[in-house]
Structure 1
Amino acid sequence: MITGIHHISMKCGSEEELNKTKDFYINLLGLKMLRTWPDGIMIDAGNTLLEIFTNGEGVKELGAIRHIAFATDNVDEIIEKVRLAGYEVFKEPTDVVIASTPELPARVAFCYGPLGEEIEFFHEK
C-alpha cells in the first residue's frame, strides 16, 4: 500500500552545485538538513524529503517529472525572496483556477532552482 511520497531525488555534478543547492533549499527557502552521507544529503521539505546525490553528473534536461511544487501561504513573498537571491522567475505570481471538479483556486509562481529544476510555489485558496 502506498502511504505517500518519501523523497524526490536530484543529482549534483560538482561541489559548487551542491553548495548552491544547499544554500537555495536550506538558507533561502528555510528547509532543514535531515541527514548527510559521503555521496549525498537529505533535506526535510515538510511532508517529503529532497535527496540530493553528489556522486556524478547531474541531468540538465526536463524529463517525465515536470516540476516540484512547494505549498506556501505566501507565494508573492517567497518568489520575491528567490528573485532577490538571483534565481530566474519564469512565471510571475498569478491567480489560477484549476478546472477540476470541484474547481481549485490557487496562487502560483515558478522559478528555476540551483540545478535547473523547475520549482512551483503553490497556495491553495
Structure 2
Amino acid sequence: MKGIHHISLKARGEENFEEVLDFYGRVLGCGVVRTWGTGAERGAMLNLGNVLLEVTANGAADLKKGHFAHIAFAVDDVDAAAERVRRAGCEIFIEPVDKRLGGEYPIRIAFCTGPAGEELEFFLER
C-alpha cells in the first residue's frame, strides 16, 4: 500500500458535473490533472494537494446530495492487493483488469467490498 490515490465523487448528472468542476477549480483552486469521456461518461481528476479527487458525471440527477463512490488506494501490484483482501474474506466485485480511461489514461484496477460494506479500489497508473 502506497497511500490514497483518489476519492471518487459522482456528480448529479452532466450539468452538476460542470458545477462541481467550477467549484473545486475556481473556488477551491484545485487544478484539473486530466479529463476523459463525453456526456454521462465524462470524468476528471482534480489535484487536492496530496490526493486526487475523481469527479464523474454518472451520478443520479434526482439525488439531493452528491455521492462519494469509493476510496482508491495507490498500489504497486493490483493483483496482489486483490488476493490479500480475497484471502481475508472480502468480495472482489471487479477482478484485476487493465483499462484506458478516455482511451488514453492506462491503469490497472480492482474493486472489493470492505468489512463495513464500503467500496475500495486498488489503483495502478501505468
TM-score, normalised with respect to structure 2: 0.48
TM-score, normalised with respect to structure 1: 0.48
